[in-house]
Amino acid sequence: MIMTETKNRLIEEIQEWKKKRNAILLAHNYQLPEIQDIADVLGDSLSLARATLDTSADVIVFCGVHFMAETSAMLNPEKTVLLPDLEAGCSLADSITAEQLRAWKAEHPDAVVVAYVNTTAEVKAESDYCCTSSNAVDIVRSIPEDKEILFLPDMFLGSFVKNQTGRENIHIWMGECHVHAGIAPYQVEEVLTKHPEADLLVHPECGCSTSSMYLKSEGVLPQDKTHILSTGNMLTHSKNSSAEEFIVATEVGIIHQMEKQNPTKRFIAANPEAVCPFMKMITLEKVLAALKENKHVITVPKEIAERAKLSIDRMVSIG
Ligand code: 13P
Ligand code: SF4
């Protein structure tokens, strides 16, 4: 934890450098509280990607992980996109390579490929559609029903989409995010027993999402209190719901924002250890260094960006 004085000085310097460079600071909902508090735009993967299209800034400082900055760089080739720490990766994006995807496509030559945004630019270049947790269902619904689909790389999000759309012709890659997969059904049940009146908010990447969906459909979990949502939609729900308590089944960083927006409500983590080490790599010191030293500039080879662009454009325009 940094001292308040040091923190305030860092924030002041960041604001000065932002002005100097005509920069905007985007932050994902899982970022450290002090990063969330200075963000110009805070949001889920889809809203952040869309925000990069609406800004007149020359420099985008992406406080998130590598694939997010890479996606912004492909959407905005004329802007400078900075990721304050190059090590901020994603275990889910690492669960499939372009080579593995090419081999999978060769087994299903007529299939349409839907890739979650948590993938590398090379994987996106091999895909037809890109999606995020907030529009995955809409994107799959937009694809003609007789078309076979390869959905990758998250198996829990894949099963959620399959269940919501009722499609049988979806093949799902068996990848997972180690943070979300670690939120287990028994943990949710334990917390629910202690807080039976709470709304349950589950991210579709979670290890408990499939069982939550099943238990909801069986009436074991209350239909009107169980919600499978992207991080952005979790924030909207917690604002609009009349519930006093919420069980949060996703990365715990989002609770900072939930508490800030709803000071009288209570938010309980389904698994308090669900912390993404990659998201927490971005600090105030690194944001300042990124602005001062123009690092780390994220670029994507033109040939890959051109091939990935159609799938990314579909992602930002659907849902
Ligand atoms: P969303 O914020 O789009 O729901 O995604 C969650 C996530 O895990 C990002 O890596
Ligand atoms: Fe990747 Fe999981 Fe971290 Fe999101 S929470 S960035 S999916 S490792």
23 within a domain of the structure (yes/no): yes
* Domain co-membership, 206 together with 160: no
- State if residue 45 touches ligand 1 by the CB under 6 angstroms criterion: yes
Would you place residue 274 in the very low, low, confident or very high pLDDT band (cuts 50, 70, 90)? very high
- State if residue 91 touches ligand 2 by the CB under 6 angstroms criterion: yes
DSSP string across 118-162 = SS-HHHHHT-SEEE-TTTHHHHHHTS-TTS-EEEESBHHHHHHHH
* Domain co-membership, 138 together with 216: no
**Which of ligand 1's atoms lies nearest the C-alpha of 65?**
10
Q: Give 7-29 pLDDT, tens digit per residue.
A: 999 999 999 999 999 999 999 99
CA atoms of 68 and 273, how far apart (whole Å): 23
Q: Which domain holds residue 220?
A: 179-269
Say if residue 214's pLDDT is above 80. Answer: no
* Domain co-membership, 199 together with 246: yes
* Domain co-membership, 295 together with 313: no
Residue 215 C-alpha to ligand 1 middle, in angstroms? 23
CA atoms of 194 and 17, how far apart (whole Å): 47
Residue 132 C-alpha to ligand 1 middle, in angstroms? 7
- State if residue 119 touches ligand 1 by the CB under 6 angstroms criterion: no
8 within a domain of the structure (yes/no): yes
In this prediction, what percent of the chain has a pLDDT beyond 90? 93
Residue from 42, 44, 66, 116 to probe ligand 1 pocket by mutation (most atoms less than 8 Å from CB): 44
Residue 28 C-alpha to ligand 1 middle, in angstroms? 8
- State if residue 209 touches ligand 1 by the CB under 6 angstroms criterion: no
CA atoms of 215 and 221, how far apart (whole Å): 5
* Domain co-membership, 164 together with 206: no
CA atoms of 72 and 55, how far apart (whole Å): 12
Say if residue 217's pLDDT is above 90. Answer: no
Q: Are 225 and 198 in contact (CB under 8 A)?
A: yes
| Structure confidence at residue 3 (pLDDT) | 84
210 within a domain of the structure (yes/no): yes
Residue from 94, 133, 180, 209 to probe ligand 2 pocket by mutation (most atoms less than 8 Å from CB): 180
Give the global pTM. Answer: 0.96
Say if residue 317's pLDDT is above 90. Answer: yes
The closest residue, in CA terms, to atom 6 on ligand 2 is 90
Closest ligand by atom to 281 CA: 2
Which among 286, 213, 229 has a CA at the least distance from the CA of 31? 286
Would you place residue 269 in the very low, low, confident or very high pLDDT band (cuts 50, 70, 90)? very high
* Domain co-membership, 171 together with 192: no
Residue 173 C-alpha to ligand 2 middle, in angstroms? 17
Number of domains in the chain: 3
**Pairwise pLDDT comparison (222 vs 43), residue with the higher score:** 43
Minimum mean pLDDT range among 1-5, 47-51, 113-117: 1-5
* Domain co-membership, 80 together with 136: no
The closest residue, in CA terms, to atom 5 on ligand 2 is 276
- State if residue 206 touches ligand 2 by the CB under 6 angstroms criterion: no
CATH label of the domain that carries residue 62: 3.40.50.10800
Residue 41 C-alpha to ligand 2 middle, in angstroms? 19
Say if residue 187's pLDDT is above 90. Answer: yes
274 within a domain of the structure (yes/no): no
Region 86-99: mean pLDDT is 98
The closest residue, in CA terms, to atom 2 on ligand 1 is 44
| Mean pLDDT, the chain, whole residue set | 96
